[in-house]
């Protein structure tokens, strides 16, 4: 509504209530539950609150950012007090996600590292070269296993960095969501690559040059990949949209036109 007002928005930059609260003091208050529930998890809810405060800071005069009300509270103090519970819930939520994913990443790292040492088919006792070196499926196995090992290790380190973070308010704005995005994406890559490596091993050891075996192997391999993608991709999408695609301001829909007409009517009075 402030953006739609246009030139008259300077009036709202300096307005205060009877307690000398400016716009930032009011922004510091916790949003209603029906507004918070639009975001997935307490961490993204706190992130949205921080984004809203950051957006309003662009509208008010710089002196209002640190100005106190009659209770000697700055806008930042009001925000911290109002969002104390949400901060704890956000920390708990993001730690739970990071702990669960770090266990999965550690398990994948262990599996693919063991698979890299004990290559399918074994090695030549004289030269030490793997028996299936010249097979295309073995090359696929080696590449997929390496990708899975590197990406799962990266995911594990990222999730550990989340668990050891300080969890300050400003960290929920970009730093922690960005780490969670990187961790989930690398974990998705690691899981997919692990399934591909396992499928290549099955084909090498049990197919006996029968190409029709590829069909059931590929069908079963798609199941865990599909389930993981369907279950985790919505969270990744929410994180991306909330962190990098958030928008405030004027919209070109019927609601903004309705608001604009009412504002014009109000000022005409």
pLDDT tens digits for range 43-83: 999 999 998 888 888 878 888 888 888 888 898 999 999 99
**Whether residue 61 is found in the same domain as residue 145:** no
CA angle 50, 52, 54 (to 5 degrees): 70
Q: Evaluate whether residue 250 is within a structural domain.
A: no
**Whether residue 62 is found in the same domain as residue 162:** no
**Whether residue 63 is found in the same domain as residue 126:** no
| Domain termination residue (choose one: 43, 59, 84) | 84
pLDDT tens digits, 81-112: 999 999 999 999 999 999 999 999 999 999 99
Q: The tokens of 40 are what?
A: 């997935």
3-class secondary structure for 6-64? HHHHHHHHCCCCCCCCCHHHHHCCCCCHHHHCCCCHHHHHHHHHHHHHHHHHCCCCHHH
**Whether residue 118 is found in the same domain as residue 174:** yes
Residue stretches of the chain with pLDDT short of 70:
1-13, 120-132, 207-209, 246-269
**Whether residue 136 is found in the same domain as residue 232:** yes
Collapsing DSSP states into helix, strand and coil, what is residue 131?
Answer: coil
Residues in Cβ contact with 60 at an 8 Å cutoff, skipping those fewer than 6 apart: 13, 22, 23, 24
**Whether residue 104 is found in the same domain as residue 233:** yes
**Whether residue 234 is found in the same domain as residue 167:** yes
Distance between CA 41 and CA 52 in Å, rounded?
A: 17
Q: Evaluate whether residue 122 is within a structural domain.
A: yes
Which residue shows structure tokens 């922004």? 27
Q: Evaluate whether residue 264 is within a structural domain.
A: no
Collapsing DSSP states into helix, strand and coil, what is residue 252?
Answer: coil
**Whether residue 110 is found in the same domain as residue 234:** yes
Q: Evaluate whether residue 251 is within a structural domain.
A: no
What pLDDT score does 8 carry?
Answer: 57
Q: Evaluate whether residue 45 is within a structural domain.
A: yes
| Domain termination residue (choose one: 60, 84, 108) | 84
What pLDDT score does 65 carry?
Answer: 84
**Whether residue 239 is found in the same domain as residue 113:** yes
Q: Are 107 and 190 contacting, i.e. CB atoms less than 8 angstroms apart?
A: no
What pLDDT score does 179 carry?
Answer: 94
Q: Is the dihedral of CA 178, 183, 186, 187 positive or negative?
A: negative
Question: CA-CA distances (angstroms) from residue 68 to 71, 78, 168?
Answer: 7, 10, 22
Domain count across the chain: 2
**Whether residue 115 is found in the same domain as residue 80:** no
Q: Evaluate whether residue 237 is within a structural domain.
A: yes
Q: Nearest-CA neighbor of 243 among 175, 164, 168?
A: 175
Q: The tokens of 41 are what?
A: 């998890």
**Residues spanned by the domain of 202:** 91-244
Distance between CA 12 and CA 47 in Å, rounded?
A: 25
Q: Evaluate whether residue 265 is within a structural domain.
A: no
**Whether residue 16 is found in the same domain as residue 121:** no
**Whether residue 127 is found in the same domain as residue 10:** no
Distance between CA 22 and CA 75 in Å, rounded?
A: 8
Q: The tokens of 215 are what?
A: 């069909």
Q: The tokens of 155 are what?
A: 């995911």
Question: DSSP per residue over 134-148, as a string?
Answer: T-HHHHHHHHHHHHH
Q: Give 246's DSSP letter.
A: -
What pLDDT score does 222 carry?
Answer: 86
Q: Evaluate whether residue 216 is within a structural domain.
A: yes
What pLDDT score does 254 carry?
Answer: 46
Distance between CA 157 and CA 105 in Å, rounded?
A: 9
Q: Nearest-CA neighbor of 2 among 261, 260, 266?
A: 260
């Amino acid at each position: 509504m402030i953006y739609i007002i246009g030139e008259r928005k300077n009036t709202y930059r300096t307005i205060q209530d009877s307690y000398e609260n400016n716009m930032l003091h009011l922004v510091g208050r916790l949003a209603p539950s029906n507004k918070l529930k639009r975001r997935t998890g307490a961490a993204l809810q706190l992130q949205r609150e921080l984004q809203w405060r950051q957006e309003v800071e662009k509208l008010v005069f710089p002196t209002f950012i640190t100005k106190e009300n009659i209770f000697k509270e700055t806008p930042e103090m009001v925000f911290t007090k109002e969002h104390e519970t949400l901060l704890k819930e956000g920390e708990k939520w993001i730690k739970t996600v990071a702990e669960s994913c770090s266990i999965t990443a550690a398990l994948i790292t262990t599996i693919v590292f063991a698979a890299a040492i004990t290559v399918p088919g074994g090695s030549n006792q004289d030269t030490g070269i793997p028996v299936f070196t010249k097979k295309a499926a073995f090359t696929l196995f080696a590449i997929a296993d390496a990708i899975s090992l590197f990406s799962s290790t990266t995911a594990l380190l990222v999730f550990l960095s989340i668990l050891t973070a300080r969890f300050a308010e400003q960290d929920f704005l970009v730093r922690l969501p960005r780490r969670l995005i990187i961790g989930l994406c690398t974990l998705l890559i690691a899981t997919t690559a692990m399934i591909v490596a396992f499928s290549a091993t099955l084909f090498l050891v049990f197919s006996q040059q029968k190409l029709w075996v590829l069909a059931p192997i590929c069908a079963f391999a798609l199941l865990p990949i599909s389930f993981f993608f369907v279950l985790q991709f919505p969270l990744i999408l929410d994180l991306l949209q909330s962190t990098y695609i958030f928008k405030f301001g004027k919209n070109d829909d019927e609601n903004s036109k309705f608001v604009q007409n009412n504002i014009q009517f109000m000022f005409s009075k």
